[in-house]
Amino acid sequence: MSRSPYLQGATINPAEDFRRMRRIVAEDLDWTLVIVPCLSKLCLQSFIRNFEEKPIFEELSPTQRDFVQEGLSTSLPLNLTANLISDGVFWKRCCEERWDLCDVSHYGHSWKRMFFERHMENIIELFIPYSTEEKTVLEMVPLCKNYVKRLNISQLLPPIREPEGEEEDELGLDSPYQNENEGQSMDHFNFKILLSKLTNLEELHLVYKVNQCGMNFEWQMFEMTDKDCKSLASALKSCKTLKILRLHESHIEDKKCLLLVKHLLDHPSLRELDFSHNLIGDKGARAVAKLLNKSQLETLNLYDNDIRDHGAKALAHALAKNPTLQSLNLRLNRVGDEGGQAIANALLNNKTLSHLHLGANKVTEPTVITLAKVIAQNNTLKSINISCNCLGEDGGKALEEAMSYNTSITECDVCLTGMGEQSVSFINQAVWTNKKNAI
């Protein structure tokens, strides 16, 4: 006969008092020692039930805390739990209850960070200027500021239109002036009230657009207004911990770019700037070039803007003297050979850039011949993308020759450049060999 089921979990030494235990079991066949919870567990369960009135957490041992984390209700008010319950199962339960997809590896393996970042993102994404009270955001700040490192805001709502405005439109009182006034009232959430208070924020991704606007579509929903730009610029300046700024698809033209850049000069921690899918032209690029000289940027992404030769030359000028930039992306702009050659010449003189993207511009043979010199020099350049430019057969030959000096290039995209097939296959072969040697 096996005695072990009764003995599991029981603290009584079997040799000591086996008889008494047998007797108890004999009196009640359903009753075993295993299912009697320990007093300590009963206490913990009582703590859990009364947590809202009498929160006890910090005083507990690690195993007791784990037990409480498993049992607490996820609907407890955040002002109670935020700064009391440490990262763990409780926050995992909160996240999984609220969102279908929860990949904690995107949040530095912290469930608490995930919860508060996404919670704050939701509040901002649903914030309606003049309707939502600023209090809803500000109340959260003391609760979440220790855990929020990144905010990825995928929409910003404009204010709700005054109904009178629409009536007037119908009456035909519409005038260009009125439209301008309406434009001014399209300002979005004011980041000035928030960013300086988030003392651990390192990454900010913003888009000034509205998701799923359906039949309410208006062009104005998809741009940052002048006032938005002003308030964001000074908010960014006050956010001293920011390392990465991404501002996409927000209709940023030269004027707004200038203003943003002006406030980012000498920023103490900014390392990555991404203004892709905007309307930045040469003037904006000149401002960014100045920023290159007055910052420690390592990554600059100006993908899909309106930068031409003058802008590219300004960037090249800054690049030649810059000791920090490692990656420059000018994909899908309108840079011609004047700009392209300037950039390549800058690289002849400097040895920090490792990634260059000039794909889908207007550069041709002269640029690629200068680039070939850079490559043959065997410096830090590791990856180039010059696809979708008209480089021609001779451009291909120049690049082919450069690649024959075993160089540091481990990625080189030359698709759709009009090069001879032989050049392309030689270049690919050389890249492959370099990659193999690099490992």
Is 252 in contact with 210 (CB distance < 8 Å)? no
Shortest Å distance, C-beta 432 to ligand NAG: 12
Shortest Å distance, C-beta 76 to ligand NAG: 10
Distance of CA 339 to the CA centre of its chain: 30
Amino acid in the structure at residue 96: E
Question: Of 259 and 375, which has the nearer Cβ to ligand NAG?
Answer: 375
Question: Of 175 and 269, which has the nearer Cβ to ligand NAG?
Answer: 269
Question: Of 80 and 265, which has the nearer Cβ to ligand NAG?
Answer: 80
Crossing angle of helices 89-98 and 111-125, rounded to 10°? 40
Task: Give the number of other CB atoms < 10 A from CB of residue 87.
Answer: 16
Question: Of 233 and 388, which has the nearer Cβ to ligand NAG?
Answer: 388
Contact residues toward ligand NAG (CB under 6 A) are 77, 79-80, 152, 154, 205, 293, 321-323, 331, 349-351, 359-360, 378, 385, 387-388, 405-408, 411, 413
Helix (H, G, I), strand (E, B) or coil at 21: helix
Question: Of 6 and 147, which has the nearer Cβ to ligand NAG?
Answer: 147
Per the document, the length of the chain is: 439
Query: What is the C-alpha to C-alpha distance for residues 81 and 49, in angstroms, rounded to an integer?
Result: 14
Position with the least CB separation from ligand NAG = 359
CA-to-CA dists, residue 76 to 30, 41, 62, 110, angstroms: 37, 21, 21, 20
Q: Furthest-apart CA pair in the chain: how many Å?
A: 99
Shortest Å distance, C-beta 98 to ligand NAG: 15
- Residue 139: CB partners within 8 Å, gap ≥ 6? 79
Shortest Å distance, C-beta 407 to ligand NAG: 6
Shortest Å distance, C-beta 65 to ligand NAG: 19
Shortest Å distance, C-beta 351 to ligand NAG: 5
Q: List the alpha helices (DSSP H) in 126-222.
A: 134-138, 141-144, 163-170, 176-184
Outline where DSSP puts E strands in 101-220.
Answer: 150-153, 203-207
Question: Of 3 and 294, which has the nearer Cβ to ligand NAG?
Answer: 294
Shortest Å distance, C-beta 416 to ligand NAG: 8
Question: Of 301 and 407, which has the nearer Cβ to ligand NAG?
Answer: 407
Shortest Å distance, C-beta 149 to ligand NAG: 12
Phi, psi of 18 (to 5 degrees): -65, -35
Query: What is the C-alpha to C-alpha distance for residues 354 and 360, in angstroms, rounded to an integer?
Result: 19
Query: What is the C-alpha to C-alpha distance for residues 240 and 129, in angstroms, rounded to an integer?
Result: 26
Tokens of 153: 């805001």
Query: What is the C-alpha to C-alpha distance for residues 431 and 391, in angstroms, rounded to an integer?
Result: 18
